Structure 1
Amino acid sequence: MTIRRLLTFLFSLAITAIFLVIALYRVDLNQLLGSLKTADYRLAALGILCVVGSYMLRTARWQRFLRPTKQIPILRLFPVLIVGFALNNLLPGRPGEFARPYWLGARENISKTLGLATIIVERVADGIALIAFLLIALVAFTPLHIDLPPAVETIAIAASILFGVALAGLVFLLVREQLALSIFKFFTRFLPHKIAAKLERMLGSFIVGLHSLKSARDIFGIAGLSLAVWLVESTLYFIMLSAFSALPNVPDRAVASVFMMVLINLGVMIPAAPGGVGPYEAAAIFALSTFGVNETLAASVALASHAISYIMITGMGLFFIWRAGMSLAQASSGETETEIERT
């Protein structure tokens, strides 16, 4: 392990430790274990279907992003997507975001830069969908007479600005493609010719990866799939709240599941330990405490929900890596493309 990777790992562990202390310092361990023992795991088992369903929808959306370049069957894309998320669960620094374009390129002969572009657009689409769900949840709070902490408004504004700027940048690249290339060439002219030419080719491939946003039909399809991804994940949290008998009032439970989903997915963007351990639990407990759920019960729901998602995705990812005859290090480096091509 290099010094850089070691420092990244130690930093992520420190972030995780801080968030776990924030999340769990008021949790009663005996009550937590009791809550985990008495949960209805028949209901919780349905959460597995939600996890698989949400990632199948993610795959269908990724297929749409790639459609202008190549039509790829969902069953060929699914292992690539799962391996990427599994690597994020297992290794620090979110290496799955970079390994996924390598797997895609090796299997389908697609430019790595183009593949990375689709993943960036995917993340922006996720952010916009999450903001939409957050706004829906905030509107739903009014008839429920729930007083939201000021931090929620701050989160909503910051996330809206972040993803708004990202969206504006992508739109500029699409609408003013030649101008964007000209500006880029102006700044790269000071670099050695070979490096500048390579960077310009990479930007060209990146823009090609955005071409799925040029078709109104594809835009609506991507938007619909993005909303479906997060609706299914919200259903997972609704099921888990039901399994732990939290929030017996169904409307409260429905709004809480959406709010929980949004905060968790914004929280795991923080560079913590693999799998978002720490920020995930802190975000879930914060979301549920807003609805009056005590910290111990909220921690039970958070830990069980996280475990279901983590075990399913990591397990499937390791299976696909094993089937490719690769080690974890090889899968994350993207250097052994021969093995990937055979899967």
Structure 2
Amino acid sequence: MKKHLKTVVGVAATVFFLWLALKDVEWADVWRHLREADLLLLGAAVLVSTVGMHIRAMRWKPLLDPVAPGIGWKPRIAGVCIGFGANNVFPARLGEFARTWVLARQANVTLSAAFASLVLERALDGLVMIAFLLLAMSLPGFPELAAGGPVDLQATVRVVMAVFAVLMGALVWMAYFPARAASVAERVAVVLPSAFRRPLVDALRAFLAGLHVLRNPRLLAVSVAWALFQWAFLAGSFVLAFRAFGIDEPGYVGALFLQSCIALLVSVPSGPGFFGPFEAASVWGLGLWGVDKSRAASFAIGFHLGGWFTVTGLGVYYAARLNLRWRDLRRSETRVEEAVETDPTLNPHARPH
């Protein structure tokens, strides 16, 4: 029942965001832009995006070092590719659990420890995305939006800065008072439907267990540096994809901004492959630079599909090499949740099987 509800919510979000992104486009213009796209530049954009998968596998190592030092390259890259490939074909971000399970299966690390490192990685991603939003909106290349207009730039920057400050403060508080943070979260989560309450509480427990990185200055610096490098590098794929579709106005500043918007929006529940949130963020974000909806939609469709096929192909390749079945990956969520629930280091009330 829980999985069915998450699937229904995800598919509904996908349909809504696709409608929001594509409701006013001229489809004849969209197809024309797709046919006229520079395939060489689009291929280069997809290649840069794919290299980003390997950077993510490299940055996973320092996050794992406190609990499982010396994990090799092959388990990490296999976990990343299979996880992101699974996200493209299964709803409700099932690939996050598949990535955890694959790593634990191939390396000497527990499921709960692997999951803790992944949750922390996602938290760092969110903070870096907010930082890049602030950076992009403060640079000269960002569109001038008058106060009182549809989007008040100064007010938006102030709101983003406030959110960033609150998140940083919450992160420090949780790092030094994990038991109290878990207690507060469990009391608040009581109001949520059971289908969502357990995954959120489990994720928080795992996240709190992974916060040891924040108490190690060297590991923290390395982890943040990797996150900054990864997303700064990936912004280059957006610049190449812009040019493939004849979009010159946003440049690298627009790439940082749009990438951050997409990364934050796809964190909401959606269907397989994050279709819908990706397109909605692209059309809205490029509209700030005056790019018409049809051209922005063609960029979103072309770039998104190019990355989808490549990442899914890598996931299938690594799953085949490891003799994994997609049925096994579908069960990974249950396995990870059970591991977190029964790990006494994450759950003081755990009762091991």
TM-score bracket relative to the smaller structure: 0.7 to 0.9
Indicate the residue corresponding to 1:137 in structure 2: 136
**Counterpart-to-counterpart distance in 2, 1:317 and 1:125:** 24
Between 67-76 and 143-152, report the one with greater CA deviation.
Answer: 143-152
**Counterpart-to-counterpart distance in 2, 1:246 and 1:29:** 18
Indicate the residue corresponding to 2:319 in structure 1: 321
**Counterpart-to-counterpart distance in 2, 1:126 and 1:211:** 17
Question: How far off is 1:323 after superposition?
Answer: 2.0
Deviation string 1:277-326 (CA, Å, 9 cap, x unpaired) is: 10110001100011000000000111111112211111111121222222
Distance 1:139 1:104, change over 3 A: same
Question: How far off is 1:36 after superposition?
Answer: 0.5
Report the residue type matching 1:210 in the other structure: L
Report the residue type matching 1:53 in the other structure: V
Tell me the SS of whatever aligns to 2:139: helix
Question: How far off is 1:123 after superposition?
Answer: 0.9
Q: Could you tell me whether the CA contact under 8 Å between 1:86 and 1:314 is conserved in 2? A: yes
Tell me the SS of whatever aligns to 1:20: helix
Indicate the residue corresponding to 2:10 in structure 1: 12
Q: Could you tell me whether the CA contact under 8 Å between 1:124 and 1:163 is conserved in 2? A: no
Deviation string 1:235-282 (CA, Å, 9 cap, x unpaired) is: 1110011111112x5xx3222211111111111112111111101100
Q: Could you tell me whether the CA contact under 8 Å between 1:330 and 1:336 is conserved in 2? A: no
Question: How far off is 1:225 after superposition?
Answer: 1.0
Report the residue type matching 1:314 in the other structure: T
Residue from 283, 286, 289 that aligns with 1:288: 286
Question: How far off is 1:203 after superposition?
Answer: 9.4
**Counterpart-to-counterpart distance in 1, 2:94 and 2:17:** 22
Question: How far off is 1:119 after superposition?
Answer: 1.1
**Counterpart-to-counterpart distance in 2, 1:57 and 1:101:** 17
Question: How far off is 1:102 after superposition?
Answer: 2.0
Q: Could you tell me whether the CA contact under 8 Å between 2:145 and 2:153 is conserved in 1? A: no
Report the residue type matching 1:89 in the other structure: N
**Counterpart-to-counterpart distance in 1, 2:231 and 2:114:** 22
Q: Could you tell me whether the CA contact under 8 Å between 1:67 and 1:212 is conserved in 2? A: no
Question: How far off is 1:91 after superposition?
Answer: 0.8
Indicate the residue corresponding to 1:237 in structure 2: 238
Deviation string 1:156-178 (CA, Å, 9 cap, x unpaired) is: 6776666655554543344356x
Indicate the residue corresponding to 1:220 in structure 2: 221
Distance 1:65 1:242, change over 3 A: same
Indicate the residue corresponding to 2:304 in structure 1: 306
Question: How far off is 1:58 after superposition?
Answer: 1.1
**Counterpart-to-counterpart distance in 1, 2:181 and 2:295:** 56
**Do residues 101 (structure 1) and 79 (structure 2) align?**
no
Indicate the residue corresponding to 2:199 in structure 1: none
Tell me the SS of whatever aligns to 2:92: coil
**Do residues 38 (structure 1) and 36 (structure 2) align?**
yes
Deviation string 1:189-223 (CA, Å, 9 cap, x unpaired) is: xxxxxxxxxxxxx9998655333333322222111
Q: Could you tell me whether the CA contact under 8 Å between 2:75 and 2:103 is conserved in 1? A: no
Distance 1:288 1:225, change over 3 A: same
**Do residues 171 (structure 1) and 169 (structure 2) align?**
no
Question: How far off is 1:64 after superposition?
Answer: 0.9
Report the residue type matching 2:13 in the other structure: I
**Counterpart-to-counterpart distance in 2, 1:44 and 1:65:** 32
Distance 1:214 1:278, change over 3 A: same
Q: Could you tell me whether the CA contact under 8 Å between 1:47 and 1:236 is conserved in 2? A: yes
Q: Could you tell me whether the CA contact under 8 Å between 2:262 and 2:278 is conserved in 1? A: yes
State TM-score, norm by structure 1. Answer: 0.82
Distance 1:164 1:311, change over 3 A: farther
Deviation string 1:10-53 (CA, Å, 9 cap, x unpaired) is: 22222111111110111111111111111111111111321122
Question: How far off is 1:137 after superposition?
Answer: 0.8
Report the residue type matching 2:73 in the other structure: I
Distance 1:35 1:143, change over 3 A: closer
**Counterpart-to-counterpart distance in 1, 2:2 and 2:214:** 37
Distance 1:329 1:165, change over 3 A: farther
**Do residues 115 (structure 1) and 114 (structure 2) align?**
yes
Distance 1:29 1:150, change over 3 A: same
**Counterpart-to-counterpart distance in 2, 1:173 and 1:48:** 37
Indicate the residue corresponding to 2:255 in structure 1: 257
Which stretches in structure 1 are left out of the alignment for 5+ residues? 189-201, 338-343
**Counterpart-to-counterpart distance in 2, 1:41 and 1:172:** 48
Distance 1:157 1:109, change over 3 A: farther
**Counterpart-to-counterpart distance in 2, 1:320 and 1:151:** 46
Percent identity over the alignment is: 27
**Counterpart-to-counterpart distance in 1, 2:134 and 2:91:** 31
Structure number having the greater helix percentage: 1
The 5-angstrom pairing of residues 49-60 of structure 1 reads 49-60=47-58
Which stretches in structure 2 are left out of the alignment for 5+ residues? 188-202, 337-353
